Structure 1
Amino acid sequence: MTSPAPESNSILSLPDDLLMNCVARVSILYYPTLSLVSKSFRSLLASPDLYKTRSLLDRTESCPYVCLRLQSRENPSWFTLCRKPDQALTCDTSNKKKNGYVLAKVSIAHPPPLQSSSLVAVGSNIYNIGGSNPTSSSSLSKFDCMSHTWSEAPSSPVEMFTASAGVLDGKIYVVGSCEDEDSKSLKDTFEVYDTKTQVWDHVPSPYNGKRYNFKILCIDEKWHVGNTNGVDDLVVAYNPKEGKWHQVIMCDYTDSNAYCEIENVLYSVDKLFYGIEFKWYDTEVSRWRRMEGLVLPGTPTHHVRLANYGGKMAVLWEWEEEHLTYSWGGDKKKIWCAVITLERRKNRGIWGKVEWFDHVLTVPGTCALQKVLVATV
């Protein structure tokens, strides 16, 4: 008689359904590390069935994706937030810093060129709306944050030279410039893409001002469209529920890429000499107000990006330190990340509290922090 073979202690020896059920309960922040275990794990983590299981178990999470241009002439590189498996959280609450987070590079074959203003996240997908000056484009591509693959989506019926986009209720609103067939000059256009029906629609606008440096911002579920170059103070707002436009008074319309909307409040930053100060837009008095209780260290010369991280604010910024001399010649600099909880006080002010912040990546001095997007997976 032959003796039975010893049972394997490997987790991969579990039945497929049980293994998937186990992995679905693990935080998405550990998936970049799990993908390094074996080819079987990489295949499992790219399986649509895994994310269906996460949804059924109510385990879906907000997952930040960061777009960096490491070299000026290269296509962008993508990273996602990851927990270090070998480093426990500290209990040092005096400086509100908790160690253990890094940015892990996402392996993507042939990422498309992009503009940061035309990148948006809807559910588990990131969309890239074409349009790069001076060449017009109508392309739309989609990045699946589960399988980490790009694919083509239905093109816009209008070719745009510039585009600024935002998302509301699963629809992508895009404002840009296109060529007028009659006059051959540029005119404004406002297009909407429904990600559920995959159909484009045009929104007629009564305002056809020359706003070639567009910014589209969502405040109180209304789209505000204005010029960011300071030449034209006109800001117009569109209410999708009513299908109506109107002019608004919006002082200091932001020309920064460091902004995000959280629970119908618009947040932005001022880069001061001593650090990064946060502000929010009060629609009742039509002015920006300073966020209380929060200033992050940094310098005013570097990029800052904000994102809605499940109702909290994710902040990424470049931080120059004395031993990391910054220059365009190729020296190093650091990317830092912070997660901030927001609290509305009785005096109608908003207070920010740092939940954690950490150095998450060291990059070449030529690197540019372009965009932070949060997908749901």
Structure 2
Amino acid sequence: MSIQAASNSEKPPQEDNYQPPSSLSSLPDDVVLNCLARVPRSDDLNISCVSKTLRSLVRSPELCRLRSRLPKKSLYLFYHFHQDSKRCHWITLRRGEKMITSTHDYQVEQRSCSLAGLLTSPHFPTFYSSGVSVGSEIYFPDHGWPFPSTKVRVLDTRSGTIRMVPSMKVARWAHKKAMGVVDGKIYVIGGTYGKNQVEVLDPETQTWEFAGEEKVQCNSRFSAPLEDKVYMVDLEHGRISAYSPREGINNVATERLIEHMNCMCVVENVIYACFKRSGLMWFDTKLKVWRRLIDSGGKATLCSFNAGKMAEYEGKLAVFWTQINTNFVEKVDIRCRIIALDRVGEEIRGKIESSGSVATCSYSITLSHCLVVSD
């Protein structure tokens, strides 16, 4: 048998039917356009450099039409003045077509509404209380100080009005309970002195039910949904646990946090947090440890020690903090930093895409919530 014949006979059978993987350009134009419509406009220039076909599709009116039909998302940053508890204030950040202030192509809008007739606690929303968004609505629990409360409010971001929703079955402290959205339903965990059942709100029927017979004890200042679970940071021990509607509550990381956490959120199925000394970090769910977020060069640690609130926006990390305005007495700037994230091997790297002031307010404000909604 010749060498040629031997090499052919030893060829794996699957190679006879092997076909090279299809590229994006080999797909029909309408399929490619639907894919491109979900890519941020800031990446259009990079896409145009790939090929002439993609360049023409990026510039086509059809792509603009498809993008206009997609649901728009806006980021809501809430704050309150220490001397004024009767108004709810927020800043809306959304993708725009032109430069607004120093946040590049993001539009910024400031709004507020009266809480007359709805105010049952000293401040709304409270600094440490949880809040979640479902569609275009944002749900806030009542602070309940000095007593726990069953009340929950909802902000309709389309109309800018706030209304009360049916009360929970169990009174809870807002600054100790965890909240998260799983499969479109809102789960409320802990916030009581002892063990109690988890409650779940169906936004469509506006009804509360107990999630199960299991009673859990949880005092959580920070919580975030990830992979059909609600991850929580315990107030007393600083340990991370997760609640699943199917499995109940389980410890995720047994090691105690050794420093204060400022805020926490989830971006592209990864938990990020800002610590007082270590700055921005992400949680490795496989190793169950916190790891530092480094810069795009893979060398320096990407820090933001003063971050007060942060949230996912268009697959990126939006970080907010206050900074003293040197041009005005007793004024502070609310600053925003947009960070693009990229996983490289076992690391996650961040690149600051924009950074600047989104508003100037009086000195006595507190950032309370940061949430993303669908317009």
Give the alignment's TM-score, normalised by structure 2.
0.68
In the alignment, structure 2 segments of 5+ residues that lack a partner are 1-64
1:333 maps to amino acid: V
Contact 1:84/1:101 (8 A) holds in 2: yes
Contact 1:228/1:255 (8 A) holds in 2: no
Q: Does 1:364 align with 2:375?
A: no
State the structure with more CA Rg. Answer: 2
In the alignment, structure 1 segments of 5+ residues that lack a partner are 1-53, 91-96, 179-184, 326-330
In structure 2, distance between residues paired with 1:247 and 1:205? 19
2:145 maps to amino acid: N
Aligned to 2:163: 151
Aligned to 2:152: 140
Aligned to 2:17: none
Q: Does 1:256 align with 2:261?
A: yes
Q: Does 1:216 align with 2:218?
A: no
1:121 maps to amino acid: S
Q: Among the aligned pairs, what percent are the same residue? A: 28
1:207 Cα deviation from its structure 2 partner: 6.2
Aligned to 2:191: 177
2:138 maps to amino acid: I
**Partner of residue 207 from structure 2, selected from 199, 206, 216:** 199
Q: Does 1:104 align with 2:109?
A: yes
Aligned to 1:309: 313
Q: Cα RMSD (Å) of the superposition?
A: 3.3
**Partner of residue 81 from structure 1, selected from 83, 88, 93:** 93
In structure 1, distance between residues paired with 2:211 and 2:322? 38
Aligned to 1:128: 140
1:356 Cα deviation from its structure 2 partner: 1.4
In structure 1, distance between residues paired with 2:169 and 2:198? 11
In structure 1, distance between residues paired with 2:170 and 2:339? 39
Structure 1 residues 221, 252: CA separation in 2 closer, same or farther (over 3 Å shift)?
Answer: farther
In structure 2, distance between residues paired with 1:126 and 1:262? 19
Structure 1 residues 339, 234: CA separation in 2 closer, same or farther (over 3 Å shift)?
Answer: closer
In structure 2, distance between residues paired with 1:139 and 1:371? 18
Contact 2:232/2:240 (8 A) holds in 1: yes
In structure 2, distance between residues paired with 1:239 and 1:130? 24
Give the alignment's TM-score, normalised by structure 1.
0.68
Aligned to 1:350: 348
Q: How many residues align?
A: 296
In structure 2, distance between residues paired with 1:238 and 1:130? 22
1:119 Cα deviation from its structure 2 partner: 1.7
Contact 1:259/1:266 (8 A) holds in 2: yes
Aligned to 1:28: none
Aligned to 1:320: 324
Which residues in structure 2 correspond to 1:4-43 (within 5 Å)?
none
Could you list the per-position Cα deviations for residues 284-311 of structure 1 after superposition, in whole angstroms to 9, with x for gaps in the alignment? 101001111076786x4x5521111132
Contact 2:341/2:350 (8 A) holds in 1: yes
